[in-house]
């Protein structure tokens, strides 16, 4: 005779407790995964935005540093120039980038556009520059425009003159010469996370290579009408 065998199993209460623990563990793991994914997306988004700012700064600096000052031609109503700007707009003649598919000089026009949410975008429009005179609206490339910085709170240009004023100005209208420095300040909305250290670029070219140089004045001669 053998004794009766008793198989011990889980009671209903034990099963319910196990299911509750498994549910809590699954919820905790899912929460961790969601937080990790959200953090990853934020890091990638901020890193991408910062890199975009770096590229924009390099582009703007390269254009400003290579600004080319044209000498006004005799009898021209709208004289040629190298740089002209206000606190919210800048126009400058500079060599074209190789990737643009053109050679020679381009007219770069930096300007801002207002968004529906009150923020602004910094954009640049490029045109062929023919001896200081921008291409007309009929040119094939007259409408090329790109966005450099999106959703900024403010964009401000300023110009430093080493002459009599020796201070930063909100505009530059003297087409006979170029400013010593050009500064671009951009502020982003609170909590945006992006940073834009003030870009200060020094202009390298001071005179038109084709001008008639006056060795006494150490400057280009005034054009004769």
CA distance 197 to 58: 12
Q: Give the CA angle between residues 141, 143, 144 to the nearest 5°.
A: 75
Look up tokens 């005034």; give the residue: 222
Concatenating the DSSP letter of every residue in 86-146 gives -SS-EEEEEEPPGGGT--SEEEEEEEEEE-TTS-EEEEEEEEEEETTEEPPTTSTTTTEEE
Q: Which two tokens stand for residue 65?
A: 């540093």
Look up tokens 């009408």; give the residue: 225
Residue 79 near residue 72, CB atoms below 8 Å: yes
Residue 128 near residue 104, CB atoms below 8 Å: yes
Task: Tell me the average pLDDT of the chain.
Answer: 76
Q: Identify the CA nearest to 200 among candidates 225, 224, 179.
A: 179
What are the tens digits of pLDDT across the range 50-85?
778 888 999 999 999 988 877 655 555 555 568 889
**101: burial class by Cβ within 10 Å (0-12, 13-18, 19+)?**
exposed
Residue 82 near residue 70, CB atoms below 8 Å: yes
CA distance 218 to 225: 21
Using a pLDDT cut of 90, give the percent of the chain over it. 28
- Whole-number pLDDT of residue 30: 76
What are the tens digits of pLDDT across the range 33-56?
677 666 656 555 555 667 788 889
> DSSP secondary-structure letter at 172?
B
Instruction: Give the model's confidence band at 104: pLDDT under 50 very low, under 70 low, under 90 confident, else very high.
Output: confident
Q: Which two tokens stand for residue 27?
A: 């919820």
Instruction: Give the model's confidence band at 139: pLDDT under 50 very low, under 70 low, under 90 confident, else very high.
Output: very low
Instruction: Give the model's confidence band at 114: pLDDT under 50 very low, under 70 low, under 90 confident, else very high.
Output: very high
Greater model confidence, 130 or 61: 61
Region 162-174: what's the mean pLDDT?
A: 79
CA distance 25 to 5: 36
- Whole-number pLDDT of residue 90: 94
**Ranges 3-17, 156-170, 182-196, most confident:** 182-196
- Whole-number pLDDT of residue 14: 79
For strands 120-130 and 168-169, give the pairing.
unpaired
- Whole-number pLDDT of residue 94: 86
What are the tens digits of pLDDT across the range 21-32?
888 888 877 777
Identify how many contiguous H helices and E strands the chain contains and give both numbers.
Answer: 1, 12
């Amino acid at each position: 005779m053998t004794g009766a065998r008793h198989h011990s199993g889980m009671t209903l209460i034990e099963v319910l407790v196990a299911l509750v623990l498994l549910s809590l563990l699954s919820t905790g793991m899912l929460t961790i995964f969601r937080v990790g994914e959200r953090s990853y997306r934020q890091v990638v988004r901020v890193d991408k935005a910062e890199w975009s700012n770096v590229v924009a700064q390099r582009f703007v600096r390269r254009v400003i540093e290579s600004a080319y000052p044209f000498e006004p031609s005799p009898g021209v109503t709208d004289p040629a120039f190298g740089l002209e700007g206000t606190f919210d707009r800048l126009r400058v003649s500079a060599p074209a980038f190789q990737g643009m598919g053109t050679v020679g000089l381009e007219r770069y026009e930096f300007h801002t556009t207002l968004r529906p949410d009150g923020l602004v975008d910094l954009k640049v429009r490029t045109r062929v520059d023919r001896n200081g005179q921008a291409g007309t609206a009929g040119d094939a490339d007259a409408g090329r425009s790109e966005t450099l910085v999106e959703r900024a709170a403010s964009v401000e240009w300023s110009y430093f003159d080493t002459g009599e004023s020796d201070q930063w100005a909100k505009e530059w209208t003297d087409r006979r010469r170029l400013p010593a420095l050009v500064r671009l300040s951009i502020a982003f909305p609170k909590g945006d996370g992006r940073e834009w250290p003030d870009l200060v670029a020094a202009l390298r070219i001071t005179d038109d290579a084709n001008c008639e140089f006056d060795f006494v004045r150490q400057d280009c001669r005034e054009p004769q009408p």
